[in-house]
Structure 1
Amino acid sequence: MNRYVELAAVWKVMVTGVGGGVGLVAIYALGLVELSAGLGRGGPGDRRPLPLLLAGVCFLIVVAGVGLGLYTLLAR
């Protein structure tokens, strides 16, 4: 379309930005919601294991995404 702008590169940057920026923040927020649901409002016996497991998976995905981003930046 334009000889100054390569649209294929712009598309890749936008997808990476949305996935790495907004996506990781959304997964982190979902992990916080699941952690809150898993801990419950009562005492220690009120904990539910499935939301706690989902929160752990969400936090693991976020840590892996941050690690991948750092590895990609530092490898060059």
Structure 2
Amino acid sequence: MSQYIDVDALWKVLVAGLVAGAGLVALYALGLVGLAAARTQDGTAARPAGVVVAAVCFALVLAGALLGLYVMLAK
């Protein structure tokens, strides 16, 4: 559109920011919800599916953080 603004690059930056920024935070929140869903009212672990969901979410968040550190420190 404009000779000063590269719209294609702008969309790439926007998508990367949403995935790496808000996406990791949303995955972390989903992991916390999974941990909360794994507990019953008396505090015993009754639903292992919640723990599995939480573990997967936390692993993805850790992988995203390590990838970000790798990309920043590789330069």
Considering the TM-score relative to the shorter chain, is it more than 0.5? yes
Q: Which amino acid aligns with 1:29?
A: A
Deviations 1:3-33 (A, max 9, x none): 1111111111000000011111111101000
User: Structure 1: where are the runs of 5+ without partners?
Assistant: none
Q: Percent identity?
A: 49
| Residue matched to 1:10 | 10
Q: Which amino acid aligns with 1:15?
A: V
Structure-to-structure mapping, 1:39-58, within 5 angstroms: 39-44=39-44, 46-58=45-57
Structure-2-length-normalised TM-score: 0.90
Query: Does 1:37 find its partner at 2:45?
Result: no
Offset at residue 43 of structure 1 (A): 3.8
Distance in 2 (alpha carbons) for counterparts of 1:42 and 1:51 = 16
Moved over 6 A (4+): none
SS in 2 for 1:47: coil
Structure with the largest fraction of helix: 1
Q: Which amino acid aligns with 2:28?
A: Y
SS in 1 for 2:5: coil
